């Protein structure tokens, strides 16, 4: 059993293979957080020490125990209004207009298996792989109930959290804040790492010590965004890849998220995470429940590497679903950077033909194949083939490409509409706009109101008609703007604050329907690259286009940041042309290839334009990727350098049974008479001998992990690294 409860002391303990989580309801029914960290198998309450702190008041029944204050206690799920002055997880406006909830313990339940969440993605698991703890809390003065859910996958050191807020009273309430989790630490001086950036430069880690007060990363864009990835790490000041303590949280949510830390008056730390309350309110009518999205938590007592491995394993095995969860993904060629909007069926076939000759598995036709779509100013929403570009429609093209031995994939941007489109002309009310105001345009487009059932029905039919019309194996689901002008003609005035969350629920409903009705189609997520790279989307799409920046140097940094939380199998990455279209940088084709291999791997250029030497390099890269595919996607990933501070980016994949390891990377600059950089490998078997394939040299795991290996001598800039070590049996 991972979860145990003591009915006498009302304490709860969640044990995973290496971690322990403890909480306890005290005599007043206040649910205190006691411990999250390494396994200790001890009641850690002795660490809590309370004294009388001025201006931190007392609950009424303990008014004379002046040391007893919910303002100084570590709490599991703090609500606002009753004396805890730190950031709350829950704010409820009661029917009398007051904003208060005083949550007390009323019961619990433990069961096998992992809970699911209606309408929202959640970690899933077999009955015997996971357990669920539910703790029931009730406001002492109203019929507001809160169920705290904890899901446990012990072997991955993963604990998930979610809350259900229920109005069991006779009058309606209003939720102003309903976060997914709170984690209180009474001790420790922590650094906070979050993953920030912008379009074409997403998820760059920033690390800074917590300062007194509140720090946050809050998205307001309607999506999880390029700017504020819904994930965070709190770590000890000395934490490195392999030493120190760290806690990670990732929200399985694709809308606006808020992550806040508060370093408080007693040097205690609170971490909360959930739907961004700045874009949220919810009418909780009598008899109704509200489900928060799920937060995935993990702890490592031995640095970021273990924390990332825990996240990678759970996302690969218990978040991603469908046929492509485990099967090898096709090596694809995408025509976007090769043609942009300027193509016809002849040009596409030429690109596909060369790709087939060089060993690619799938051709993906990107933006521009539908409606009147010759630029990004028109056509979105009209999901019918533009026959002036593709003569005879889709079928002849897909048939031709299938005959070349390639699968066929296609691009959609379902949630969008161009003003210049038949869809907008017929249904202007489907676009998100505020009556009487000119809407904000971005990439000349508007967003469809995904809260509307008729919009979802239209999209389902439009997309499934296309998928049924030809042999299509892949869909790239793009989304190219942030959302504002929140207004829906189908929502009542009082419910308008629900729209951003209802948008996400609508999106998930459509994705669920399409992915279950087309189980053989590989769905790849995208939002101008990685603008919606989150565990919620990964539940529907096992891979996400990581960034619109295909420059190999920048990608080493973007993919480095992404790898803290998300597995390599989730990262969409391609070799593109040089000079790179986003940066103008020229990098060698092998450096582009090893960088793209840390992902789903593919190409995004017209291979016909390459020299013969480059073409044979491509052929060879595909052969190598096929060999390494399992190792890369199912193995453990190690960050051997920091591309943000080091002169090189080096990373390593190790097979689960440690029988092989692949070191990839790039030396950024070559200087004359430069010493070769030594790099230490990790995760090998110490007493095993490994052969380096390139020159046959043999090293023990112990030598490679302690002394390391010298990186190859570099020539030119962005010099690629590839070293494949295989165990000698």
Residues that bind ligand DGJ (CB under 6 A): 336, 366-367, 411, 478, 480, 526, 528-529, 545, 548
Closest to ligand DGJ by CB, 409 vs 536, is 409
Residue 695 bears catalytic tag: no
Catalytic residue among 184, 202, 415, 534: 534
Closest to ligand DGJ by CB, 76 vs 524, is 524
Q: How many residues does the chain have?
A: 729
Using DSSP's 3-state secondary structure scheme, residue 512 falls into helix
Minimum CB separation of residue 596 from ligand DGJ in Å reads 14
Residue 614 bears catalytic tag: yes
Q: How far apart are the first and last CA of the chain?
A: 38
Residue, CB closest to ligand DGJ? 367
Minimum CB separation of residue 211 from ligand DGJ in Å reads 36
Strand order across the 173-178 sheet: 90-93, 173-178, 282-284
Of 633, 683, 681, nearest to 659 by C-alpha is 683
Under 8 Å between Cβ of 670 and 714:
yes
Under 8 Å between Cβ of 368 and 340:
yes
Neighbours of 237 (CB within 10 A): 12
Minimum CB separation of residue 337 from ligand DGJ in Å reads 8
Closest to ligand DGJ by CB, 336 vs 424, is 336
Burial category of 587 from C-beta neighbours within 10 Å (exposed 0-12, middle 13-18, buried 19 and up): buried
Of 95, 236, 130, 255, nearest to 180 by C-alpha is 255
Helix (H) or strand (E) holding 638: strand 636-639
Which residue in the block uniquely carries the two structure tokens 């689960």?
656
**Tokens, residue 574:** 């391609």
> Cα–Cα distance between 708 and 704 in angstroms, integer?
4
Closest to ligand DGJ by CB, 254 vs 292, is 254
Under 8 Å between Cβ of 69 and 83:
yes
Minimum CB separation of residue 545 from ligand DGJ in Å reads 5
Give the phi and the psi of residue 498 in degrees, each rounded to 5.
-85, -10
Closest to ligand DGJ by CB, 198 vs 713, is 198
> Cα–Cα distance between 633 and 226 in angstroms, integer?
24
Ramachandran bin of 19, using left for φ above 0, alpha for ψ from -120 to 50, beta for the remaining angles: beta
Catalytic residue among 614, 646, 717, 727: 614
Using DSSP's 3-state secondary structure scheme, residue 89 falls into coil
**Tokens, residue 214:** 């509140």
Minimum CB separation of residue 625 from ligand DGJ in Å reads 20
Give 251's strand partners. Answer: 295
Minimum CB separation of residue 458 from ligand DGJ in Å reads 21
Minimum CB separation of residue 492 from ligand DGJ in Å reads 35
Closest to ligand DGJ by CB, 102 vs 337, is 337
Neighbours of 95 (CB within 10 A): 14
Minimum CB separation of residue 538 from ligand DGJ in Å reads 17
**Residues contacting residue 77 through CB under 8 Å, at least 6 positions apart:** 31, 89, 90, 103, 137, 146, 148, 163, 182
Active-site residue list: 534, 614
């Amino acid at each position: 059993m991972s979860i145990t409860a003591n009915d006498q002391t009302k304490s709860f303990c969640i044990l995973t293979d290496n971690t322990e989580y403890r909480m306890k309801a005290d005599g007043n029914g206040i649910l205190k957080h006691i411990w999250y960290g390494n396994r200790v198998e001890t009641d850690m309450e002795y660490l809590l020490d309370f004294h009388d702190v001025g201006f931190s008041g007392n609950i009424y029944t303990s008014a004379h125990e002046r040391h007893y204050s919910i303002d100084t206690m570590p709490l599991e799920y703090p609500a606002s209004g009753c004396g805890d002055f730190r950031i709350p997880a829950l704010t409820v406006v009661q029917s009398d207009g007051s904003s208060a909830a005083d949550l007390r313990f009323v019961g619990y339940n433990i069961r096998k298996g992992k809970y699911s969440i209606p309408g929202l993605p959640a970690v899933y698991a077999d009955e015997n792989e996971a357990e669920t703890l539910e703790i029931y809390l009730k406001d002492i003065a109203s019929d507001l109930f809160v169920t705290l859910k904890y899901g446990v996958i012990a072997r991955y050191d993963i604990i998930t959290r979610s809350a259900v807020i229920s109005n069991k009273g006779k009058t309606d309430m209003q939720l102003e804040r309903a976060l997914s989790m709170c984690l209180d630490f009474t001790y420790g001086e922590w650094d906070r790492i979050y993953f920030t950036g912008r379009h074409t430069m997403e998820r760059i880690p920033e690390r800074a010590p917590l300062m007194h007060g509140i720090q946050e990363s809050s998205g307001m864009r309607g999506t999880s965004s390029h700017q504020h990835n819904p994930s965070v790490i709190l770590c000890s000041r000395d934490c490195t890849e392999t030493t120190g303590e760290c806690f990670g949280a990732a929200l399985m949510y694709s809308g606006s998220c808020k992550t806040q830390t508060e370093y408080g008056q007693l040097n205690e730390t609170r971490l909360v995470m959930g739907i961004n309350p700045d874009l949220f309110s919810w009418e909780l009518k009598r008899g109704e429940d509200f489900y928060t999205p799920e937060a995935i938590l993990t702890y490592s007592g031995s640095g970021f590497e273990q924390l990332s491995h825990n996240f990678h394993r759970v996302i690969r095995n218990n978040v991603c679903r469908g046929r492509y969860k485990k099967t090898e993904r096709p090596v694809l060629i995408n025509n976007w950077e090769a043609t942009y909007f300027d193509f016809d069926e002849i040009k596409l076939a030429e690109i596909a033909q060369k790709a087939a000759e060089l060993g690619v598995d799938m051709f993906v036709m990107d933006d521009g194949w539908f409606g009147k779509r010759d630029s990004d100013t028109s056509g979105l929403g009209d999901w019918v083939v533009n026959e002036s570009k593709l003569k005879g429609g889709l079928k002849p093209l897909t048939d031709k490409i299938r005959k070349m031995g390639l699968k066929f994939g296609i691009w959609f941007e379902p949630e969008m509409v161009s003003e210049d489109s038949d869809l907008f002309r017929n249904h202007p009310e489907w676009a998100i706009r505020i009556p009487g105001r000119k809407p904000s345009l971005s990439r000349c487009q508007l967003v469809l109101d995904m809260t509307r059932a008729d919009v979802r029905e239209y999209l389902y039919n439009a997309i499934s008609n296309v998928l049924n019309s030809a042999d299509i194996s892949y869909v790239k689901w793009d989304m190219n703007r942030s959302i504002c002008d929140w207004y829906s003609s189908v929502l009542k005035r009082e419910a308008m604050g629900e729209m951003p969350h209802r948008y996400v629920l609508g999106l998930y409903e459509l994705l669920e329907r399409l992915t279950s009705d087309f189980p053989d189609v590989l769905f790849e997520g995208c939002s101008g690259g990685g603008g919606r790279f989150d565990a919620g989307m990964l539940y529907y799409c096992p891979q996400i286009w990581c960034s619109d920046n295909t420059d190999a140097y920048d990608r080493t940094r973007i993919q480095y940041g992404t790898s803290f939380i998300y597995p390599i199998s989730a990262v969409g990455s391609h070799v593109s042309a040089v000079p790179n279209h986003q940066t103008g940088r020229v990098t060698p084709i092998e450096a582009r290839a090893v960088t793209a291999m840390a992902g789903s791997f593919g190409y995004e250029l017209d291979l016909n334009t390459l020299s013969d030497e480059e073409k044979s390099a491509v052929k060879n890269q595909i052969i190598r990727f096929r060999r390494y595919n399992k190792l890369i996607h199912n193995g453990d990933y190690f960050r051997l350098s920091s591309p943000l501070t080091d002169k090189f980016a080096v990373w390593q994949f190790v097979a689960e049974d440690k029988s092989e390891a692949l070191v990839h990377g790039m030396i950024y600059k070559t200087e004359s008479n430069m010493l070769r950089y030594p790099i230490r490998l990790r995760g090998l078997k110490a007493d095993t001998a490994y052969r380096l394939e390139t020159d046959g040299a043999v090293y023990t795991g112990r030598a490679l992990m302690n002394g390391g290996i010298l990186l190859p001598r570099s020539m030119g800039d962005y010099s690629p690294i590839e070293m494949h070590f295989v165990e000698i049996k």
